[in-house]
Amino acid sequence: MEGASSQLGLPRDLPGRLLVAGGAGFIGSAFVRLLLALDTGPEITVLDKLTYAGNLRNLQEVEHHPRYRFVQGDICDRELADRLGAEVDCIVNFAAESHVDRSILDPDAFIRTDVYGTYSLLEAARRHHHRRFLQVSTDEVYGDVEAPQLSVESDPLRPRSPYSASKAGAEMQCLAYHATYGLPVVVTRGSNTYGPFQYPEKIVPLFVTQALDGGPLPVYGDGGAVRDYLYVDDHARGIATVLARGEPGAAYNLGQGAEPLNGLQVADSVLELVGAPRELIQHVQDRPGHDRRYALDSSRARSLGWAPELDFTSGMARTVAWYRQRRDWWEPIKSGEFLEFYRRNYRPLEPAGPTS
């Protein structure tokens, strides 16, 4: 155990039986694969509704693992949450509607899953006296952050999209359950995450798959909005660290901490790694209410012994190599439902008005 966990850079003091909600998604599946790679480690039940973003192929390599089982279901199903809650001592909640643009087109599922669904899991944890509840939240809860400021955990939450408002609502409930019922809740606020198995609606996998196919890279507005980009395995290790060592009632920022990058810089990095021309960049209409900047101070999580291992250059090289090799994973996704969303979401720039 010592060998395997220190080799993965993971703490040893993790709870024994975990319910991982949303474990068939991008970051949840990375977290599950990471913990099941330990020689000795927690038993894991994944509860996932398998929405458009959930994919059992993300968990294919662990499907026969003796410490793993999968249950298809909705976190909003109180009875199911309670039944599964009775069989574990800890919940890690990744389950959410996670794409900002979809929340702008149709907020309904965000309120249902992110807010009510989190409440449903909190109730199960409270009823069964869990040892821990970890809520996977986001740096978007801080809202737009002026340069050169970095968000710290005590900053006020100022979410500005239906997605980030639903995530802020969820984590506020979690912290209220700690204050009111003494539930040992911890919250992580991760930054913009990228890597293998990410549904190709988010900037990195969208741009990589478009570039591999010689298609346009749609940059919102002037391409100047910046994000802190964190490699998925580093995010997953950060969540495991906070799960094991975080202080109940506290939130932890998990960010790369390097200079944040804007949309045009991400596009340039993708085009260079793929070997595609800059002409593929296409400016499109901006996201309504687009937050211009997120940037995190993650020293609280670092004080628990966590630090990202990959910088953006190495993480992107791995990511592009993965998407090059795994057309079998992403090509079927970029059809049907995805194309319908793409048509609804992306609009050409308005032609410039007359000048006086």
Residue 73 tokens, joined: 């279901």
User: Looking at 5, 45, 118, 138, which residue binds ligand NAD (CB under 6 A)?
Assistant: 138
The yes or no reply on residue 236 touching ligand DAU (CB under 6 A) is no
Quick check: 202 binds ligand DAU (CB under 6 A)? yes
Contact of residue 136 among ligand DAU, ligand NAD, none (CB under 5-8 Å per partner type): ligand NAD
- Pick what 24 binds: ligand DAU, ligand NAD, none; C-beta below 5 to 8 Å, kind-dependent: ligand NAD
Q: Which stretch binds ligand DAU (CB under 6 A): 43-51, 104-112, 132-140, 149-157?
A: 132-140
Placement of tokens 């220190």 in the chain: 6
Identified catalytic residue from 48, 97, 114, 139: 139
Q: Is 274 left (phi over 0), alpha (psi -120 to 50) or beta?
A: alpha
> Which stretches within the chain are classed as H helix?
2-7, 26-36, 78-85, 100-105, 108-110, 118-127, 162-181, 203-212, 232-245, 263-274, 299-302, 312-325, 327-330, 336-345
CB-wise, 103 or 241, nearer to ligand DAU?
103
Taking CB under 6 A as the criterion, the residue among 28, 41, 218, 315 binding ligand NAD is 28
**Rounded to whole angstroms, how far apart are CA atoms 287 and 309?**
31
**Does 25 contact ligand NAD by CB under 6 A?**
yes
Cα separation, 124 vs 45, whole angstroms: 15
Q: In this chain, which stretch among 9-17, 50-58, 201-209, 309-317 interacts with ligand DAU, using CB under 6 A?
A: 201-209
Backbone angles phi, psi at 70, to 5 degrees: -120, 135
Instruction: Answer yes or no whether residue 195 interacts with ligand DAU by CB under 6 A.
Output: no
Of 89 and 291, nearer to ligand DAU (C-beta) is 291
159 lines the binding site for ligand NAD (CB under 6 A): no
Say if residues 182 and 130 touch (Cβ distance below 8 Å).
no
Q: Within 273-302, which residues bind ligand NAD (CB under 6 A)?
A: none
Q: Does 263 bind ligand DAU (CB under 6 A)?
A: yes
Subset of 185-204 contacting ligand NAD (CB under 6 A) = 190, 192-193, 199
Residue in the structure block whose two tokens are 């109940």: 248
Long-range contacts of 73-77 (CB under 8 A, 24+ apart): 73/47, 73/48, 73/49, 74/49, 74/113, 74/117, 75/21, 75/22, 75/47, 75/49, 75/113, 75/117, 75/118, 75/120, 75/121, 76/112, 76/113, 76/116, 76/117, 76/120, 77/120
CB of 171 to ligand NAD, least distance (A): 10
Chain residues binding ligand DAU by CB under 6 A are: 98-100, 138-140, 191-192, 202-203, 206, 218-220, 225, 227, 263, 287, 294
Active site residue ranges: 139-140, 163
